[in-house]
């Protein structure tokens, strides 16, 4: 399963219950998730990368004055359950609502560092 498939699959669950979009969303929903990632070649041998490391960002948007914590916890658990590292959470508040960014890592080898 690709990194994109893993992200979409783990975030699109009844438990989280939010629409999930890759890369960007330009609609008018108030509550949604957007994810993106950067691919970095890894595990080099013989001048060739034998794996990829993914630097993942999951963005959670919601209206002001709503409690984000229950959903943030569900998103973090879903990421860890899909074999991504435990995410850091950054409050990237905006004028028109709340915005939280969860940053984590994953690999295409199905393990996280310290688990090989």
Over residues 61-69, mean pLDDT: 95
71-107, pLDDT tens digit by residue?
Answer: 999 999 999 999 999 999 999 987 889 999 999 998 7
Pick the closest to residue 104 from 69, 78, 67 (CA basis). Answer: 78
Going by their DSSP bridges, the two strands 20-22 and 32-45 should be labelled as: parallel
Q: Which domains does the chain have, with CATH numbers?
A: 3-107 (3.30.2000.20)
Res. 111: pLDDT tops 90: no
- pLDDT of 60 > 90? The answer is yes
Neighbouring CB atoms inside 10 A of 116's CB total: 9
């Amino acid at each position: 399963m690709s990194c994109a498939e893993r992200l979409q699959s783990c975030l699109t669950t009844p438990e989280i219950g939010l629409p999930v979009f890759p890369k960007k969303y330009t609609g008018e929903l108030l509550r949604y998730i957007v994810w993106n990632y950067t691919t970095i070649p890894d595990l080099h041998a013989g001048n060739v990368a034998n794996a990829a490391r993914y630097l993942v960002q999951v963005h959670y948007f919601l209206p002001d004055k709503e409690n984000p914590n229950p959903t943030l916890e569900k998103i973090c658990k879903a990421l860890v359950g899909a074999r991504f590292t435990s995410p850091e959470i950054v409050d990237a508040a905006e004028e028109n609502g709340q915005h939280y960014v969860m940053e984590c890592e994953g690999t295409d080898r199905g393990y996280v560092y310290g688990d090989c």
